[in-house]
Amino acid sequence: MTIVGSAVSRVDGPAKVTGTAVYAADFALADLAHAALVQATVPRGRIHTIHTAEAEAAPGVRAVLTHENTRPLPWAPRDPRPGVDPKAGERLHVLQTDEVFYNGQPVALVVAETYEQACHGALALQFEIERDEGSAVDPEAVEPEAPDDQQSSMGDLDAAMRDAVHSVDVTYTTPGHSSAPMEPHASIADWDGDRLTLRGSYQMLKFNRNELADSLGIDPSNVRILSPYVGGGFGSKLGIAPEAVAAALAARQLGRPVSVAMSRPQVFETTMRRSETRQRVRLAAGGDGRLTGIGHEALVSSLPGEAFSEPVTQATPFMYRGDNRTTGLRIARVNRTCAGSVRAPGEAVGVTAFENAMDEMAEKAGLDPVAFRKINIPAEDPSQHIPFSSHKLAEALDEGARAFGWDKRRAEPRSVRDGEWLVGMGMASAFRVNMVVEAEARVRLNPDGTAEVETDMTDIGTGSYAVLSQIACEMLGLPADRVTTRLGDTELPPGSGSGGSFGASSSGTAVFLACEEIRGRIAEALGCAEGDLTLKDGVAVAGNRATPLAEVLGGRCLEAEGHVEPGETSSAVRQATYGAYFAEVAVNAVTGETRVRRMLGAFAAGRILNRKTARSQFLGGMTWGIGMALTEALLHDPRHGQIVNHDLAEYHVAVNADVPQIDVLLLDERDDWSNPMQTKGLGELGVCGAAAAVTNALYNATGVRVRDYPATLDKVLAGGL
């Protein structure tokens, strides 16, 4: 069978394009009530008075829930921090406290017969909050923490910088980002006695069940989450959000199912953001351009008490050679919406700034940017002195340059003009860590020769339904129409969830192992070794005999569960994925407007399971890169921390008019260290440095180096265009 590696259409595609796919807010339950969140308007403070009479009297309103009348949750003492409680893991403190920790924090819930009535009632709710004047909203205005586990040093970077023939010491800043998934967060909670069923839009169900149970103070066995379709996540749906806890509390209190669907501004204001960053990059090189020192230090922000911090330097330790190395991360504690994982946390912003600095160093050393990167590819992980499981950056650079026509680039900035447009080319390398996490899956081969795949793995638009079905088809020798995959239900075996680019490799390996066990049983029934068995088109071939699978099964059902978890391969070698971006931009010499004319990416991400969905993922990643480079920025009011561009009209992601023809090259790679299928993660690789290729091209076009993302036209003009 050759279904694995083919460009197979997504099996969930028809349901989505015809509108029959049921998303979180689409479930129609009997006696369903609707609710709207009410949010705080100060960055930190305490609620003194809530005036509920007008809201309670509004048409259709059935309840107004606040910390004063919501059933207390059975955990104590209450940790005043909004996130991490070291006694019991992560809990969301929804409707349980009079304290406010950030502007936009949910402080009340209005429940009504219809969504419109709930929103109307929410507007009528009035509350008085005493602002804590000691609140902090500006990361640059507070003394940051420097956790010991976030600092690393080898050799003597200061000496390397002092002795270098060529050196770069530059600071880049990136703004905060929002995941901005197409589907807003929504949850429908329904209790049956002590058992809760939540229909929600979530990425990591086996963890989400525990988080929700922990927040409600109940046993996880009493929680079922259903997420068969998720309309994008990009990190914002990795963990339980306030609407899920609020829906569960309201449904239990009212004794009827309750739906809480966030508005678009609420998604921006209450779910995780990517932290803004300030990154200092230092590079030291000899006369031949070989790096002798690397420094990468960053400032990020998060809420007080939160464990997560944007891992800006995650890829820096293994990207390039250099014996003298310093990396560090400082965390400013501010009263802004919780920072979390957003679209390739760490590398999306960290590799971007670093690749800009690499371009600056290439120019100082008088080397072509591609050649400079190639001579600095390390032979082993320079931070741990362990081998790479595989390493195809040089091939990605060469193949990408060839396909893009990099040899036609003019190195001198402002060398190419097309009317009033200045034209330039730029490139950047791509890096992303690779991992496998624990996952389980069940595969059932039915007597009629059909098969079923079951796991609570989710499909957030990445193609999980397709690739898991393909693996089962390939392993069991079945045509695509004879395999059904069921996902997104915590009653099924716990998969990896969708995040960190580990979903296909982790849950896919679990499916692979389950199928491998079934193959072994079939081989045993035919009296041959599993390696001598061929399954194709519903027929088992052993030796010179071909037997229909239905005959081999003899009315039996063969069922197996696969289970994978990380082993020594995760630490014995450095596993990563690599790529190279190339971009051509045109900058208007009068207005400073920048347009990307074409873009290409070449990627090595292990064995490709589905060429169509893989290409789509890389197209999406590079589209995010264009937005990051030119338009995308989360903006906070410096007076009170409110997100001022909290909708898709003012938060400017790249749209169709911004995106040119994008080409994707998928390099052939098999990595025996990654997993039995030799696959690697690829969903996030496409954005890890893509923005740098665009801004490096902008510099080549204009001679203006914008170090404060995004490179909007005012910054281009201010640079001396």
DSSP characters over 586-598: EEETTT--EEEEE
Residue 570, pLDDT score: 83
Domain 274-435+571-718 has CATH 3.30.365.10: yes
DSSP code of 130?
E
Residue 75, pLDDT score: 58
Residue 555, pLDDT score: 95
User: What are the phi and psi torsion angles at 141 (to 5°)?
Assistant: -105, 5
The tokens for 478 are 């079945």
Alpha carbon distance 353, 361 (integer Å): 13
Question: Is 569 buried (19+), middle (13-18) or exposed (0-12) by CB count in 10 A?
Answer: middle
What CATH number belongs to 24-134+180-270? 3.30.365.10
Q: How large is the C-alpha radius of gyration of the chain?
A: 27
3-state secondary structure of 387: coil
DSSP 580-633: EEEEEEEEETTT--EEEEEEEEEEE-BS-S-HHHHHHHHHHHHHHHHHHHHT--
- Spatial CB neighbours of 107, under 8 Å, sequence gap ≥ 6: 38, 39, 40, 47, 66, 67, 95, 100, 127
Residue 1, pLDDT score: 62
Strand order in the sheet with 451-454: 483-486, 451-454, 439-445, 558-564
Global confidence as pTM: 0.96
Alpha carbon distance 374, 362 (integer Å): 11
Give 10-residue mean pLDDT values along the chain (721 residues).
90 94 96 98 95 97 96 59 40 87 96 98 95 94 95 98 98 98 97 98 96 92 97 96 97 98 98 97 98 98 92 98 98 96 97 98 98 98 96 98 98 98 98 97 97 98 97 96 97 97 98 98 95 94 92 96 92 96 98 98 97 97 98 96 97 96 97 96 97 98 98 96 88
Residue 354, pLDDT score: 99
Residue 90, pLDDT score: 52
Three-state SS for 267-318 is HHHHCCEECCEEEEEEEEECCCCCEEEEEEEEEEEECCCCCCCCCCCCCHHH
Among 356, 338, 315, 424, CA closest to 174: 356
Q: Is 684 a catalytic residue?
A: yes
CA distances from 256 to 33, 162, 173 (A): 7, 70, 48
What CATH number belongs to 437-565? 3.30.365.10
Alpha carbon distance 189, 252 (integer Å): 9
| Cβ contact 369:338 at 8 Å | no
Which of 99, 347, 399, 684 is flagged as catalytic?
Answer: 684
Alpha carbon distance 224, 454 (integer Å): 15
Domains 24-134+180-270 and 274-435+571-718 agree in fold: yes
Residue extents of the structural domains in the chain: 24-134+180-270, 274-435+571-718, 437-565
Residue 88, pLDDT score: 36
Alpha carbon distance 492, 440 (integer Å): 9
| Cβ contact 461:641 at 8 Å | no
How many CA atoms lie within 13 Å of 325's alpha carbon, on the beta-carbon side? 19
